[in-house]
Amino acid sequence: METTQTSTIASKDSRSAWRKTDTMWMLGLYGTAIGAGVLFLPINAGVGGMIPLIIMAILAFPMTFFAHRGLTRFVLSGKNPGEDITEVVEEHFGIGAGKLITLLYFFAIYPILLVYSVAITNTVESFMSHQLGMTPPPRAILSLILIVGMMTIVRFGEQMIVKAMSILVFPFVGVLMLLALYLIPQWNGAALETLSLDTASATGNGLWMTLWLAIPVMVFSFNHSPIISSFAVAKREEYGDMAEQKCSKILAFAHIMMVLTVMFFVFSCVLSLTPADLAAAKEQNISILSYLANHFNAPVIAWMAPIIAIIAITKSFLGHYLGAREGFNGMVIKSLRGKGKSIEINKLNRITALFMLGNDLDCCHPEPEHPGYD
């Protein structure tokens, strides 16, 4: 009896211990959330002055952590292990509502995937032209190389996707923190002059209007809902009835890392510029690094901007791909199930990959108007 109790306690202790896979998923969550949009966040968040920025910094963790934890718990509420969000919604709301929610889930994520496909093509094309002084290949060929390269990682499965994302997080965070530290000698008191509860001086809007416009930008910048379902399913298979506790812990660490690194970068950028500078950057519709490179005459920052963007877009693409694939697979499975048919999951994943590759290339082929990282 004592032996059984001891082995049970030991088993629980081993499951509660932090594992390498937990670190990998923590970085994967971070990688999905923090994309190239972080290069525009200091402008959008800081242009209203310091008070809205401080309020956003305080709200960032609770607003994003509790929302993502709630979604994780919803996925974990399914009866059977291995059920993703598309199966759980059908279980809770019925077949009809399940199909509708799965459709909405897919269309909430897939357009973002298309945007990332266009963005990485634009960024690499601009980098080759402006920083490397090269003539980029025809856009169709360039987009094919880039998207097929990212889709190659997808072919190795979910674990490889998350592992690749976790690896890409390290150079991204490293460069972001180096830039934030590099700007410290440039900090000035101009931003502190906007410490007013009455107005957001740079925009001319009141405090509440500034927050109304800025908070959605912040929430989107920390959003990693597309990977939550895959995360919850993987952890339930690994930890069983301890999955909810473990998921909450991983999410907490991921969000602490997001808030500390991103908000330090944002504050460092804002403190190194004046409100007028931030307003000018917003008017020009360029990334904060492009503006800083011109403002401080630092070509190295101009070089780093597209490199950071390429890393950020790649890891966010991979994270959003998991969610988009889940939604597309869910629609196909539910449609076939209604006809009394089924499909092998690996075959369906290949069909989904071809569908997404074709659509991504179709979106990238035209020559859109886009700002370069120069």
Mean pLDDT of 179-197: 80
Mean pLDDT of 300-323: 86
Q: So what's the pLDDT on residue 204?
A: 52
Query: In which element (H, E) is residue 266 found?
Result: helix 243-271
Secondary structure, 3-state, 153-178:
HHHCCHHHHHHHHHHHHHHHHHHHHH
With contact defined as beta carbons under 8 Å apart, do 302 and 131 qualify? yes
Task: Let me know how long the chain is.
Answer: 374
Mean pLDDT of 353-369: 77
Q: So what's the pLDDT on residue 134?
A: 85
Residue 17 is classified by DSSP as: S
Q: pLDDT tens digits, residue range 194-217?
A: 666 554 544 555 667 777 777 787
Q: Is the pLDDT of residue 71 over 80?
A: yes
Which backbone phi and psi does 306 adopt, to 5 degrees?
A: -70, -30
Burial 230-257 (b: 16+ CB within 10 A, else e): bbbbbbbebbeeebbebbeebbebbbeb
Residue 53, token pair as written in the block: 């920025």
Of the given ranges (268-277, 280-289, 353-362), which has the lowest mean pLDDT? 280-289
Which backbone phi and psi does 47 adopt, to 5 degrees?
A: -65, -20
Mean pLDDT of 332-338: 90
Mean pLDDT of 208-230: 83
**What type of residue is 195?**
L
Q: So what's the pLDDT on residue 328?
A: 94
Residue 239, token pair as written in the block: 């930890």
Confidence class for position 374, pLDDT limits 50, 70, 90: very low
Q: Which of 196, 206, 188, 193 is nearest to 51 (CA)?
A: 196
With contact defined as beta carbons under 8 Å apart, do 268 and 180 qualify? yes
Q: So what's the pLDDT on residue 331?
A: 93
Percent of the chain with pLDDT over 70: 89
CA–CA gap between residue 203 and residue 9 (Å, rounded): 58
With contact defined as beta carbons under 8 Å apart, do 371 and 172 qualify? no
Q: Is the pLDDT of residue 52 over 60?
A: yes
Which backbone phi and psi does 296 adopt, to 5 degrees?
A: -100, 5
Task: Provide CB contacts within 8 A for 350, sequence distance 6+.
Answer: none
Which of the listed ranges 104-108, 163-167, 315-319 does the model predict with the highest average pLDDT? 104-108
Q: Is the pLDDT of residue 295 over 90?
A: no
The CA-to-CA distance between both ends of the chain, in Å, stands at 70
Of the given ranges (6-15, 53-62, 208-217, 247-256), which has the lowest mean pLDDT? 6-15
**What type of residue is 228?**
I
Q: So what's the pLDDT on residue 251?
A: 96
Q: pLDDT tens digits, residue range 273-282?
A: 888 888 888 8
Q: So what's the pLDDT on residue 302?
A: 78
Q: Is the pLDDT of residue 373 over 50?
A: no
Query: Please, what are the domains in the chain?
Result: 19-364 (1.20.1740.10)
Interior angle at CA 178, CA 224 and CA 119, nearest 5: 45
CA–CA gap between residue 363 and residue 359 (Å, rounded): 6
Confidence class for position 6, pLDDT limits 50, 70, 90: very low
Q: So what's the pLDDT on residue 194?
A: 66
**What type of residue is 147?**
I
Q: Which of 20, 307, 28, 26 is nearest to 153 (CA)?
A: 28
CA–CA gap between residue 164 and residue 169 (Å, rounded): 9
Mean pLDDT of 127-133: 82
Mean pLDDT of 121-126: 86
Query: In which element (H, E) is residue 317 found?
Result: helix 299-338
Confidence class for position 247, pLDDT limits 50, 70, 90: very high
Q: So what's the pLDDT on residue 42?
A: 86
